[in-house]
Amino acid sequence: MPPAPGQLTFSAPRRGKPPRHLADLTTEERAAAVAELGLPAFRAKQLSTHYFERLVTDPAQMTDLPAARRQDVVDALLPTLLTPVREMNADGGATRKMLWRLFDGALVESVLMKYTGRVTLCLSSQAGCGMNCPFCATGQAGLTRNLSTAEIVEQVVAAARSLAAEAGDAGPDGVERALRVSNVVFMGMGEALANYKAAIAAVRRMVSPAPEGLGMSARGITMSTVGLVPAIDKLAAEGIPMTLALSLHAPDDELRDELVPINTRWNVGEALDAARRYYEATGRRVSIEYALIRDVNDQAWRADKLGTELNRRGRGWVHVNPIPLNPTPGSRWTASDPQVERTFVERLRAHGIPTTVRDTRGRDIDGACGQLAASDLQQPLAGTPSTATGPAPVELGLPAPAAAD
């Protein structure tokens, strides 16, 4: 059932755990897991190298493992967690949305965006979301369940594999010469900080050096949140220099109570204070997300109020990312007028706040911010802006399942 307006859901319904996967486990736990299979601890390291470094899950390619045991090891520790349902391309192939089915039928999406010099994966941390922001498609369907650590990590590994596969001439192990996923943003479906344990463990797998993890730079990882204050403070204490993005969307409590219902629990002032503490603890400049909604939150006085609230907490600690609102089906809201957007940006800059309008990728495939609804079960609405403009979505053939790699 869709949530009532303003209703918040913190605990996900339990639906049975996804199968245990190598990426759920710490190094010690991996050693214990291979021991359970009657194998010496060093096999865990070999298996980790296959998965995290070579992105391989096919037992036939694990030639350093005893042939008779490869299949058992893979069955026990590398079960298929994500099954591709559909893949859609936009922006001339620079943006790709992947819809995945999880072991229990839940659906999640991730979006891969190629820029010059970097590749960003926008991933999901929950199936659905309990935060119920009225302008966000994901929020409207409510929370289905939390993802496991490995279900989050697998989205990165799948993206890395698909980049490696594109680098057609890259040789048998392919991976080194292919484009890498350089950035990960927790801006797909879900409120990652409401699934704290799994999300932070996934970040640890991403930043741990190979073969323990994917060896990514923490600086390339952005955790986006509606402003769960205690979780922001906990994140600041993890000692991982990732970027925090705070979805503010209004500088005043009256409007934010409506746009971001969690504001009734932790208000603008408390969220901004936590963001500032995050900066102090990590030295990482915080991003403030601000979806510009026509005649709702885009007034010049709100830009001024935002500038004042940020500067009240210091200088040089924050920048603002206005995002033109992406239309969601059935919503009465739309993006701000371009002139209004320009004025909003100029006002913030006049307060000395670095401000960059976020480039929205993937609108034509409902892959832009706030549009992820895993909607393959719904009929596309004829005549909605996302289908009426731009090229028609391209349906690709299903890629081979991960286990066949």
196-202: long-range pairs with CB below 8 Å, 24+? 196/231, 196/234, 197/149, 198/125, 198/146, 198/147, 198/148, 198/149, 198/151, 198/152, 199/125, 199/152, 199/223, 200/235, 200/238, 200/240, 201/24, 201/149, 202/23, 202/125, 202/149, 202/152, 202/153
164 or 274: CB nearest ligand SAH: 274
Alpha-carbon span 180 to 159, nearest angstrom: 9
Q: Catalytic one among 270, 341, 369, 395?
A: 369
242 or 323: CB nearest ligand SAH: 323
Q: How far is the CB of 166 from ligand SAH (least distance, A)?
A: 26
Tokens representing residue 38 in the block: 């009657």
Q: Is residue 109 annotated as a catalytic residue, yes or no?
A: yes
Binding residues with ligand SAH: total (CB under 6 A): 18
Which of 74, 291, 348, 402 forms a contact with ligand SAH (CB under 6 A)?
Answer: 291
With CB under 6 A as the contact rule, which of the stretches 2-10, 171-179, 221-229, 232-240 interacts with ligand SAH? 221-229
Q: How far is the CB of 368 from ligand SAH (least distance, A)?
A: 7
Which of these, 59, 43, 65, 61, lies nearest to 211 by C-alpha position? 43
Q: Would you count residue 226 as binding ligand SAH (CB under 6 A)?
A: yes
Alpha-carbon span 376 to 52, nearest angstrom: 30
24 or 289: CB nearest ligand SAH: 289
Alpha-carbon span 358 to 342, nearest angstrom: 13
Give the residue closest to ligand SAH by C-beta. Answer: 370
Helix, strand or coil, per DSSP, at residue 67: coil
Q: How far is the CB of 386 from ligand SAH (least distance, A)?
A: 11
Strand partners, 394: 89
Q: Which of the residues 117 through 156 are near ligand SAH (CB under 6 A)? A: 131, 133, 135-136
Q: Which of the residues 231 through 250 are near ligand SAH (CB under 6 A)? A: 247
Alpha-carbon span 356 to 323, nearest angstrom: 9
Which of 225, 263, 355, 386 forms a contact with ligand SAH (CB under 6 A)?
Answer: 225
135 or 344: CB nearest ligand SAH: 135
207 or 275: CB nearest ligand SAH: 275
The backbone torsions φ and ψ at residue 273, rounded to the nearest 5 degrees and listed phi first, read: -60, -40
Q: How far is the CB of 349 from ligand SAH (least distance, A)?
A: 20
Alpha-carbon span 383 to 180, nearest angstrom: 37
Tokens representing residue 250 in the block: 């209004």
Given a contact cutoff of 8 angstroms between Cβ atoms, the answer to whether 355 and 312 are in contact is: no
How many residues are listed for the chain in this entry?
405
Q: Is residue 289 annotated as a catalytic residue, yes or no?
A: no
Q: Could you give the angle at the alpha carbon of 274 between the alpha carbons of 271 and 277, nearest 5°?
A: 155
Q: Which of the residues 313 through 342 are near ligand SAH (CB under 6 A)? A: 323, 325-326, 328
Q: How far is the CB of 209 from ligand SAH (least distance, A)?
A: 28
Q: Which of the residues 184 through 203 are near ligand SAH (CB under 6 A)? A: 187, 191
Which of 151, 289, 364, 405 forms a contact with ligand SAH (CB under 6 A)?
Answer: 289
Q: Catalytic one among 87, 109, 151, 289?
A: 109
Name the DSSP class of 355. Answer: B
Q: How far is the CB of 183 from ligand SAH (least distance, A)?
A: 14
Which of these, 270, 168, 200, 229, lies nearest to 24 by C-alpha position? 200
Q: How far is the CB of 136 from ligand SAH (least distance, A)?
A: 3
3-state secondary structure 71-135: HHHHHHHCCCCCEEEEEEEEHHHCEEEEEEECCCCCEEEEEEEEECCEEEEECCCEEECCCCCCC
Helix, strand or coil, per DSSP, at residue 400: coil
52 or 135: CB nearest ligand SAH: 135
Site string for ligand SAH, 345-374 (x = CB under 6 A): ------------------------xx----
Q: How far is the CB of 95 from ligand SAH (least distance, A)?
A: 15
Footprint of ligand SAH (CB under 6 A):
131, 133, 135-136, 187, 191, 224-226, 247, 289, 291, 323, 325-326, 328, 369-370
Residues forming the active site = 109, 369
